[in-house]
Amino acid sequence: MSSNKSTNSSNSSSTYSNNSDNSNQQSINDYNRRYERRRQANRVVDRMMDEFMLANNPFEFFQIANQVPRAPRVLVQRNRDDGNDRLWNDYFVDQPVFPPSLFRRRFRMKKHVFLRITQTLEERHEFFQQCPDATGRLGESSLQKCTAAMRLLAYGTAADSVEDYLRISASLARDSLQHFVEGIVSYFSDEYLRRPTEADIARLLQIGEARGFPGSCNDINVLDRSTLFTDAFEGRAPPINYVVNGHQYSMGYYLTDGIYPKWAAFIPTISLPQNENEGLFAKLQENRRKDVERAFGVLQARFEIIRQPALARNTSMLG
């Protein structure tokens, strides 16, 4: 009896296995048939495309197939002459609409300084010269271009933010900013971006001595980009002479915090003062060292583009 049961069990298992194998083989055959039909359909389509391309010009077909539809260009009548007249009447006539205080706040400088910059750029930089276009109309004036650059520098906004008032395009405003900055560096660096002279250093030493630190050349914030130390090491630095506690010194020093190297020219603060004298030194040193940091804070507040410079740039500028 038991042998009959085991025989029946093995027969049923064999039957189930055969049915499973047949089902798998049928699925594979169905997949192969569908795959072959797709291949045949693709070959038919390829043959039809080849015949069509050979019957026509293959180069024209390639252009049609790769042509990307673009929106039509919209011509904006900005009327740049009205923008220039509005700007001139608002700020540059004898009786302007806005007083000098508002000019100083919006342009971040006095009027005569701005006019000097504009005149220099117009005389020496081709971009700021007002030239006629293809129709004979004069383009944007140097005042419009320089004003656009100053607005972007002052407020840190996008290039199209000056379009509605100055009546110039965003691309022209962006180009004006780039050429304006390059022109300032090229034409005014000899006078305002030069190395400190003996008179400048004497003035700084006088200020430092009045604050309790004779011989201090002020704080140094960007060590790897400064040329002051190179001049000192190579003997090109102007002489610095001062007296502290009856001792004569001939080398200046810089007030720093704890992140700078332990050099003789660096005078760091005392992080944990142990007595009254050390506490007084740390207080005066930190107050003096903050002068340059406050100056950078004023610079950032006056020219917002320092906080977010990417708003006035495009992919070509960023490279």
For the ranges 67-76, 77-86, 294-303, the one whose mean pLDDT is highest: 77-86
Compute the average pLDDT of residues 106-121: 94
Specify whether the CB–CB gap between 109 and 149 falls below 8 A. no
Instruction: Read off the pLDDT of residues 22-40 as tens digits, 9 standing for 90 and up.
Output: 666 777 777 778 888 888 8
What tokens were used for 111?
């009027």
Specify whether the CB–CB gap between 155 and 161 falls below 8 A. yes
Low-confidence winner among 74-78, 107-111, 301-305 (lowest mean pLDDT): 74-78
Specify whether the CB–CB gap between 106 and 146 falls below 8 A. no
Tokens 């700020």 belong to residue: 91
**Rounded CA gap, 151 and 136, in Å?**
29
The helix/strand/coil state of 255 is strand
Q: CA–CA distance from 175 to each of 100, 148, 295 (Å)?
A: 28, 10, 29
**Rounded CA gap, 50 and 54, in Å?**
6
* DSSP track, 96-114: -SS-HHHHHHHHSS-HHHH
**Rounded CA gap, 83 and 89, in Å?**
10
User: In terms of pTM, does the model score above 0.85?
Assistant: no
